[in-house]
Structures are given as C-alpha cells and as structure tokens.
Amino acid sequence: MDKKKGLYLVLGIVATVAFGVFSYRIYELMFYDNNYSNAMYNYGVYGIMAMITIAIAWGAAALFYYVINSVKFDRWYHWLAVCAAVTVVTPVVCYLVNNSMLESQGLDLGTQAVDFEIANFIWAPVLFTVASFSMRWWSSNCRHTPFPQ
C-alpha cells in the first residue's frame, strides 16, 4: 500500500471514530435544548445518530467508488450528486429513528428533533468527503473524483 493512500485511509478512520466518540459534544455544540438534549443523552440517541450518519456517508462513498465505479459516472458533478443525496437522506433517516425512539419513551420532541437534524445537514457531507478521500485511491475508475490526484 502506498504511504499516501494509507495515510488518507487512517486519517479518515480516525476522524470518523472521533466523530462517533465525541458525537454527544459535537451535536450539542450545534444544537442544545435542555429537555431535548437530556433525553438524547439519557437514552443514548446521540451515538445512534452518529452511527447512522457514519454508515450512510461511508456506505455511499463505498457505493460510488466500488459498486458504481463507472467511467460514465466519474465526474465531479456525479460525486456531488451522491454527496447531495447523502446530505438529504441522512437527516431524514436520523429524524425518523430519533423521533421514533423518543416517542416510544412518551416524549413529544418532534420540533426539537427537526432543529437537531439541521446539524446533520453539515456533518453528513463532511463525513462523506472524509470517506471519499479515504477510500477513493483503490477505485479503478473513480479514483480521480472529485479532484484529480
């Protein structure tokens, strides 16, 4: 393995793990409501939201670079379309899971959940970009996307 490629992979994994480990603090920096944040923390929902965000971002990057992996789909705007899909899908999935978990506890915090998911409009594309730069090097057709090497 080339040292540069390995370094990108390791840095991407470290950044993603740090996001998962510190998700509680990261999310609360972006949105804090006393009742909502306490419920999220007490029921362990912050970690679940982080894992969903990580799974969708890394899964979409793997899909783009290794499953689609087509010379007809290797332009920067194709990558941007996948990134946009991740940016939209992640908060919607997280909202549905988040709201369902809190409602099962008898809490009606739907408005706060919508406000909270705005943070995923920022973190989802960031994690998708991190995943892209971590794994693109081994793609046979899309390794130059979104930027040439």
pLDDT tens-place values along the chain, 149 residues long: 588 889 999 999 999 999 999 999 999 999 999 999 999 999 999 999 999 999 999 999 999 999 999 888 888 999 999 999 999 999 999 999 999 999 999 999 888 999 999 888 999 999 999 999 999 988 988 888 887 76
The Cα–Cα gap between 90 and 99 comes to 14
Of the CA atoms within 13 Å of residue 138, those in its CB half-sphere come to 15
pLDDT number for residue 1: 59
Gyration radius from the chain CA atoms? 17
Residue 149 is predicted with a pLDDT of 62
* C-alpha torsion 122→116→53→27, nearest 10: 80
Tokens linked to 18: 């740090």
- Secondary structure class of 144 (helix, strand, coil): coil
Distance, CA of 82 to CA of 64 (rounded, Å)? 8
Q: What is the pLDDT of residue 143?
A: 85
